[in-house]
Structure 1
Amino acid sequence: MSAGGAAIPDAAEKRHSLDDLLAVMARLRDRETGCPWDRDQTFQSIALYTIEEAYEVADAIDRADMDALKDELGDLLLQVVYHAQMASEQNDFNFSDVVSAITAKMIRRHPHVFDDSTREDQFQRDNLWERMKAEEKAGKGDAGPRSQLDDVPLALPGLTRAIKLQSRAARVGFDWPDIAAVLAKTEEEIAELKAALAQKHDESAAANVAEEYGDILFVMANLARHLRVDPEAALRAANAKFTRRFHSIEQALARDGRKPEDATLEEMDLLWDAAKDAEAKD
């Protein structure tokens, strides 16, 4: 038993339960016998780790690595357990409350599954999920956001938040009519960036360049939305492709006893093209 009364599972056991994980977290946070680092953490200090673990889950999914996905889901679950333990210590809520609340919400927001299967068409047609969310907020004494955009979280990654902001505006008809219009806007924003780059080089010009570059990213997110592409996933895939091809450059040079810093840009460009051609043949 820990000082807090939580039973500690035998680390030699081959399998553990959710109760074991909750007991481990309680022991780690124990004021007398717990881990100094874990005892010192707060909601704020752990929040970044929670975001990182969610990204690592997405990365494992992108790589179709089921072993990694199992591990990353465990890490993400640990974050939920961690936050719930800290809330329990403050007598705000505990892990069981989290489970109960999300279970009730899923049942409540899926009446076509748990109540009346004949409502499935209505659920899809009338966007009942969003309507029920609004009704739930009203039931909590919250009349809802003053703006369509007010409850889009600030902490979301930039591209993801851009998509959500644009989607909210699109609900009331503020949207480009088709992909061609978005592409035209993209060209317009690139032209504005070029104009900003042509300005004299001072602090004001640098700020203008940054603003125009941000506009390009925003319109590219809009293009992703119209193409039904997840921009974060697309960028992760592009990052992986770049990493893979650059590794090919490093490996090719290593076979000659060299490193990238020993090669010219022209040599590395040729090796890049060779890696690209090799991928196309696979």
Structure 2
Amino acid sequence: MTPTSLRAVMSALRKPGTGCPWDLEQDHGTLARYLREEAAEVLDALAALEPGNPERERHLCEELGDLWLQVAFHAQIAHERGAWDLADVEAMVVEKLVRRHPHVFGEVEVSGSDDVLVNWAAIKQDEKAGRGETARKRLLESMPASLSPLDEAMEIGRKCGKVGFDWEDLDGVLDKVGEEIRELQAESDLDRVEAEFGDVLFTLVQWARKKGVDPDRALRRQMARFRGRFRHVEDHAEANGGWEAQDMEAMEAAWQRAKAAGTEAP
């Protein structure tokens, strides 16, 4: 009988003697790369999402399923050694969400999302104290090593902002972006150019944070637009003698036609 739940499927795939040889060979360490890959594919699907577009909606649903599979895989391996299982994962996150939302499941009142974040941070501190984690940690320690550079830059800005080390407004950040770009333009030594370029990127990420823009999503969406428009340039080249017969003017004209048509990646 074919199993119908993800938990049952994973149990069958990992069953000694009758399961899948590849699945049986995996452990938490070997699965790490697949977790990273599936998370990245979910982010790409989110960047490409057009709410109401059936194809894009299905793609996001499918990618989330692949990510869920990774969670179930790790839970099955833990279950086999008698540690915890998928039900424990769900129970733990439910308990945490209820505890950290007293304004929904308790008597606490909040006036907006800022109050929610303040309460959340305070509750996390209480949780750490309850576990005996009293040693002082520096503010920028303990960030996940798996964060992308963009996400880490965002998290650094958030943490510093919570203690008041931040620009007062968006104009202040833009002024700093302009300053960093001028410093970049003034450099010629490659090491200094790299350092100043990093300053520009970091400051732009902080502008995005204060503006409420997700820089990772913005960059993924821009790359999707670029791929879609460049396919139009490539099609134009193939129809007109190949790349060798093209000059920048012809390719730019094809690019602008794709841009005017709103060409995007599928």
Q: TM-score, normalised by structure 2?
A: 0.87
Superposition RMSD in Å = 2.3
Deviations 1:26-73 (A, max 9, x none): 232234333232222222222222222223223323323111122112
Q: CA deviation at 1:222?
A: 0.7
Distance 1:56 1:144, change over 3 A: farther
User: 122-131 or 70-79, which moves further after superposition?
Assistant: 122-131
Give the Cα–Cα distance (whole angstroms) in 1 for the partners of residues 210 and 13 of structure 2: 47
CA shift, 1:121, in A, is 3.1
Q: Structure 1 pair 92/259, CA: closer, same or farther in 2 (3 Å)?
A: farther
1:217 corresponds in structure 2 to 201
Q: Give the letter aligned to residue 110 of structure 1.
A: H
Residue 230 of structure 2 aligns with which residue? 246
Q: Is structure 2 residue 175 aligned with structure 1 residue 190?
A: no
Q: How does 1:59-74 map to 2 (within 5 A)?
A: 59-62=44-47, 63-64=49-50, 65-74=56-65
Say whether 1:121 aligns with 2:111: yes
Q: Cα gap change, 1:123/1:194 in structure 2, threshold over 3 Å: closer, same or farther?
A: closer
Distance 1:260 1:122, change over 3 A: closer
The CA distance in 2 between the partners of 1:111 and 1:160, in whole Å, is: 28
Q: Which residue of 2 aligns with 1:82?
A: 73
Indicate the percent of aligned positions where both proteins have the same amino acid.
39
Distance 2:40 2:156 in 1: 21
**Number of residues of Structure 1 aligned to a counterpart in Structure 2:** 256
Rounded to whole Å, the distance in 1 between the matches of 2:213 and 2:25 is: 40
Aligned to 2:98: 107
Instruction: Decide whether the 8 Å contact of 1:134 with 1:144 is kept in 2.
Output: no
Residue-by-residue CA offset, 1:143-201 (whole Å, 9 max, x unaligned): 265122223212111111111111100111111122222122222222332333x23xx
Partner of 2:243: 260
TM-score by length of 1: 0.82
Match of 1:172 in 2: 163
Residue in structure 1 matching 2:256, options 273, 278, 282: 273
Say which structure, 1 or 2, has more relative contact order (CA 8 Å, 6+ apart).
2
- State the distance in 2 between where 1:112 and 1:193 align: 47
Matched, 1:30 2:15: yes
List alignment gaps of at least 5 residues for structure 2. Answer: 51-55
Separation in structure 2 between the aligned mates of residue 82 and residue 92 of structure 1, nearest angstrom: 14
Q: Which residue of 2 aligns with 1:232?
A: 216
Distance 1:195 1:54 in 2: 39
Select the residue among 132, 136, 142 that pairs with 2:123. 132
Amino acid at match of 1:129: W
